[in-house]
Structures are given as structure tokens and as C-alpha cells.
Chain A
Amino acid sequence: MRPTGRQDELYGDAVEQYGAAIGRLARGYEADPDRRRDLMQEIHVAIWRSFHGFSGDCSLRTWVYRVAHNIGASHILRARRARQGGWISLDDDLPDEAASPETQTHDHRALGRLTHLIQQLRPPDRQVMLLYLDEVDAAGIADITGLTPSHVATKIHRIKARLTRLFHQGAAS
């Protein structure tokens, strides 16, 4: 594959606009800082390579999120095979260790619990949750994930309920 100037330019734009979002996404897919760095690198390389075939049929945002989430999902599928860990759905309760109170502020605790929750979710739920948290609208989420808008709406409804519960659990702890 021969890189093109346009590819570099698109990659530059993607990092400028979505670099922070990719960082958050990686945090949602990998808890371990070292492995997260590797995942980030993998995502960036994949995005850069993918621009070789970017025809502009969808927005830059949709493209970047699609590639990044695909890599994230592949990453956790590999990790699951390696670690034999289980996932939860949006309707399940958090494992006990996640509820243990941190010693920092309420917001910090809430963010820690949220991150922990995301890292336990099944890949499709995790994708929707991460996109919702990044304030991507329902139509955008449907476009990126390939889910139907009604399916996305149902998941967002559950996510909101889940987040409200998590927030109040955090406040009570």
C-alpha cells in the first residue's frame, strides 16, 4: 500500500478533531494503561491505513468512530479469549468490587464507576454507551454501529436509566 498526501491530511484532520475521543474510547475498551497505549497505537494505525480507501461516502466522524470501535471490539474479543472474563448487559448489576467506594471526590468516584461499568459491557452495548457519552446523537450512533435507529433508541433509554442508577449509587456510597 502506497500512502498518499490526502491520506496524511485526512489522518491529521481526524487526530485534530477526534484525538481526545479516541483516547476516551480506548479507556472504555482497556483498563490497563500499558495495554491501552498499545490499543491506542493500533487504533491510530488502523485509522491512518483506512484513509487509503476513504471515499467520503460518510462523514469523517462516522468513519473514524467505525474504525476505532471495530478495533476496540476486536481488542476485547481477543482479551476475553485470553482472560475468560464475562460481560454484563445494560440491565445487569455491576460486580461488587465496582461498588466499593473510592477515597476521592464524588465526581471522581462516579467516573471510576462509569469507566468500570463500560469495561464490563458487551461489545455492542459498550459501543453505544461510549458513543452516547461522547454526545453522538441516535442517528449518528445508528450510522456508526449499523444498528437500527429503534434499537439504538432502546439502548439509549437503558443507558440513561443505568447511568442514573450508577450516579445515585455513587452519591450514596
Chain B
Amino acid sequence: MTDKPETHLQTLWRQQPTEVKAMSAIEIHALAQRFQSKIYRRNIREYALCAAGALIFGFAIVISPDPWMKAACLLIIAGLAFYTFILHSRGRADREGLRTVGENCRQFHIDALTRQRDLVGGLWLWGVAPVVPGLALFMGRRLVLAPAKALPILLAADAVAIVLLVGVIAMNLWAAHRLQKRIDALKG
């Protein structure tokens, strides 16, 4: 050994095995509770938005004389219904489960985070893609039916809608990445 004694003791001290513990069960439970509440509120908001969208496009079906527009609106409503179904079946909050989970709260929270990570990471496929056919038909048909001078405004509106959809996908992919970091931290 060529180290100075104090350096050697520093090394010994730093190399000793230690327990790297993450968070107490109480805090994990509080986090899990907050997470489930957040999921619950998010889902209520999404259901409300989908219902509002279905009402608007449903109204458009009634008032529009064009069969293609009617078909586009119907497809959008079907896409929204599919989105709501997946959100409810795979992404609903499990607040009752949290109340009865007991000491396995950490695993419960990790599982919940994992489910939400998979859900938001795959949003482009189950949330956005089903709405795209109806939306594309709606946009295309609207351009065909609109007067020429309204085209620039409609094209700009379509571009904004597309940017918003891409933005939603990007934000959800980022959210999935952040959820993964939280899962890693809990797994220690």
C-alpha cells in the first residue's frame, strides 16, 4: 500500500457497502395517491373534451349537406370513441386499488407509472392515428368545398392543427421519458 494513511482510510470509508434506500413507504404512498388523483383528473378532462368534440362533429353531421363531410365527422367521432375506450381501459386511475394496496405501495406505484409510461408513449398510435383518417378527410373536403379566397386561411388553420397534433405527440413522448426516470429512481 502506497497511499497516505488518511487517503487509505478515505478509500476504505467510501468503499464500504451501504444501503442505498429510496423513499419511505409513507412518502411513496403520498406520491402514488397524488399520481392517481392526477390521472383521474386528466381522464375526466379528456372524457369531457372528447364528449365536446363528439357533440360538435355530431352537430356537423346533422347540418352538413355533403355526404363526404358527414363521413369525415363520423370517422372523427369513431376515432374519439376509440381514444376514450383505450384511455378508460388502459389508463384509468386505480384509487380503490391504492386504498387496499398495503405494504406493496412501491410496486403498485411502479406498476402504475409503467402503465402510464406505455400509454403516453404509444399515444401517437392509439390516440392520434385513429383520428387522422377522419381529420384528413374533413380537412381535404373542406378545402374542396371552400371558396378560393378562403383557402389561405383554411390551409393555415390546417397547418396549425397538424403542428398541434405533432406537439401533442412530442409532449407525450417526453412525458413517457420523465415517467421512466421516476420508475428508475423508485427501483433504485
Contact = CB atoms under 8 A, between A and B. Distances in A.
Q: Note whether A and B form a binding pair.
A: yes
Interface of A: 2-3, 5, 8-9, 11-13, 15-16, 19-20, 22-24, 27, 37, 40-41, 44-45, 48, 107, 110-111, 114, 132-135, 159-160, 163-164, 166-168
A9 B5 contact: no
B42 interface: no
A9 B14 CA distance: 25
Given A12-B186, A23-B20, A164-B5, 17 more contacts: A8-B185, A12-B182, A15-B22, A15-B23, A16-B184, A20-B18, A20-B20, A24-B18, A44-B24, A44-B27, A111-B9, A114-B9, A114-B13, A133-B14, A134-B13, A134-B14, A163-B5
A111 B12 contact: yes
Interface of B: 4-6, 8-10, 12-14, 16, 18-24, 26-27, 30-31, 34, 178, 181-182, 184-186, 188
Contact of B6 (A8, A9, A16, A164): A164
**DSSP class of B's interface residues: helix, strand, loop or mixed?**
helix
A15 B20 contact: yes
Contacts of B22: 15, 19, 44
Contacts of A134: 13-14
A24 B9 contact: no
5 contacts: A3-B34, A8-B182, A41-B24, A48-B27, A132-B10
B24 A9 contact: no
Contacts of B14: 24, 133-135
Nearest to B38: A5
B182 A9 contact: yes
B178 to A, nearest CB: 7
A164 to B, nearest CB: 5
B34 A167 contact: no
Contacts of A27: 16, 18
B181 A9 contact: yes
Contacts of A110: 8-9, 12
Contact of B9 (A11, A44, A166): A166
B12 A11 contact: no
